[in-house]
Structure 1
Amino acid sequence: MNVKAFIVHLERATDRHEQVERLKQQCPIPVEVVEAVDSEALENESVRERRDCSHFKPSYPFQLRLAEIACFYSHRKCWQAIVDQNLDGGLILEDDVELDVTVFNSAFDLALRHFTLEDYVRFPQKCRERAASIRASTATHRLIVPEVTGLGMIGQLVGQNAAKSLLEHTQRFDRPVDAFLQMTWQTGVQPISVYPGGITERSAQLGGSCIGKRKSWRETLKREILRPLYRHKLASCARRSAQISF
């Protein structure tokens, strides 16, 4: 199978250069470093368009930050590379992750053995998803179809056809990329997850997140109130979508 790894890396994040080199050595497949889209270089027109958070349902209750828009563009860049290079799939990794090589290689092997061009396989850091079904399992790992896709973009194996569908359906977006991927009825792509994934995030040891920023107490309170309401609406949409598919 023709697969390749893409490490998303912002060149000016010099404190992560060493980690990128480490990841290149750890990856079991060929690696290409993809220059991340810089939030400081976004054009005003793009920013205005992406800050309309009412385009899809359920509406996203928070305003997109510049870094979240740039992150979305960076993943679209990787999806486009998968298509342009005619790959069967691409393993997309953030530049602040650490691989537990033994665990990850086993998880990656399980994913590849059941992988199709339509698949989008997540390697989550923690097991937080409830399984709607189990596609495959070994003595140490499970490959599940979640009831609701979890958040996080630290590592995922994306098939060529899944990449094409995501590019088609995310020409316009109104929320962070991981939140958008939860809307399977909109993307046409059902992410699956492998547990344990063997990937952990270590942004705190590498200068902190390039996306997150310190929030005011008002913003924190607002998020604490609105987040569970949004999750409830999302779960309802997911259940309706599953019933229609069935």
Structure 2
Amino acid sequence: MSKNQSANMPCLPIYLINLDRSGHRLDDVKKAMAELNLDFERVSAVDGRAVSNSEVNAVYSHQLNTERYNYDLTMGEIACYMSHRKAWKTFLESEHDAAIILEDDIVLDPLFAQLQKPLAALADSRFAQWDLIKLAQPFRPKESQPLETFGEFQLVDYEKPPMGACAYLVSRQGAKKLLSRVPFFRPVDVDMQWQWETGAHVLGLLPYTVDNSHTHESDIFSVANRHASKRRGWVRLKEQWRFFWQNRRYHKNR
């Protein structure tokens, strides 16, 4: 973090995933961060238009995708997952115990600059050994169960974590668990829901302090429209049942 980092922010890095060709998004985030007197480190995102087959094949399995997911991931979705992996690696190269990972199509609530309060309290609580904490729920809401209150914030657990990976906290142990997920075959936010496979348990911090701006064209869709991919209905049904029973067992054994 730079010397301009706000004293209101916890002493941990903020990594922003941003494509080199998305300067307009970067400008929007810079403005939002400046208004909160915050700094961040940019992580150059993997570009689905330019990534090589060898780079993809090193971390992604087409075979597992066909067997376990209901459509072929687009190069944009694969590159998105690779970009998050790049951010986790960048964080682990630092000496910090945790980091905030952000995508670049976001809106920051003023409370985002006050995250030091729950994080400091969390470190001294029974939940100090956490993996990943969602800071946003940009799509369909998911039910949550309160675990502990830290001032105006509340730590929650989910029966099923919400979709979206635009903003979250990750610990060192959480990043290592997520990076061990090789090869991957689902979108990154979907993989986060399969907690027993990644090993990284997902919590949430309410109120959510980040949201998708929903104002920019999706970088994923700019590479290829995932809705145009042929759906595998039988695989979807099979995996829904697999998720239901394994998720039930996972929570029962926690």
Common fold by TM > 0.5: yes
User: Any unmatched runs of 5+ in structure 2?
Assistant: 1-9
Which of 165, 174, 181 is residue 170 of structure 1 equivalent to? 181
Q: Return the TM-score normalized by structure 1.
A: 0.82
RMSD of aligned alpha carbons: 2.9
Residue 8 of structure 1: aligned partner: 17
Q: Deviations over 1:93-131 (max 9, x none)?
A: 1111010113x3455632442154643110123572222
Residue 147 of structure 2: aligned partner: 135
8 Å contact kept, 1:53–1:64: no
Q: How far apart, in 2, do the equivalents of 1:48 and 1:31 lie?
A: 31
User: What is the count of residue pairs matched by the alignment?
Assistant: 237
Q: How far apart, in 2, do the equivalents of 1:229 and 1:55 lie?
A: 13
Residue 108 of structure 2: aligned partner: 99
Which of 66, 74, 81 is residue 72 of structure 1 equivalent to? 81
Residue 185 of structure 1: aligned partner: 196
Q: How far apart, in 2, do the equivalents of 1:228 and 1:172 lie?
A: 22
Aligned-residue offset at 1:86 = 1.9
Q: How far apart, in 1, do the equivalents of 2:228 and 2:86 lie?
A: 35
Distance 1:106 1:17, change over 3 A: closer
Q: How far apart, in 1, do the equivalents of 2:132 and 2:249 lie?
A: 21
8 Å contact kept, 1:51–1:64: no
Does 1:45 find its partner at 2:57? no
Q: Which amino acid aligns with 2:64?
A: S
8 Å contact kept, 2:74–2:226: no
Residue 247 of structure 2: aligned partner: 238
Does 1:160 find its partner at 2:169? no
8 Å contact kept, 2:69–2:235: no
Does 1:19 find its partner at 2:15? no
Which of 64, 76, 94 is residue 54 of structure 1 equivalent to? 64
Aligned-residue offset at 1:166 = 1.3
Secondary structure in 1 matching 2:64: coil
Aligned-residue offset at 1:149 = 1.4
Identity of aligned residues (%): 25
Q: Return the TM-score normalized by structure 2.
A: 0.80
Q: How far apart, in 1, do the equivalents of 2:35 and 2:233 lie?
A: 38
Residue 122 of structure 2: aligned partner: 114
Which of 213, 231, 238 is residue 202 of structure 1 equivalent to? 213
Secondary structure in 2 matching 1:73: helix
8 Å contact kept, 2:100–2:167: yes
Q: Which amino acid aligns with 1:85?
A: S
Secondary structure in 1 matching 2:62: coil
Q: Which amino acid aligns with 2:74?
A: R
Q: How far apart, in 1, do the equivalents of 2:56 and 2:147 lie?
A: 39
Q: Deviations over 1:12-31 (max 9, x none)?
A: 11321311312432556541
Q: Deviations over 1:57-104 (max 9, x none)?
A: x921111110111111111111111211121111011111010113x3
Aligned-residue offset at 1:145 = 1.0
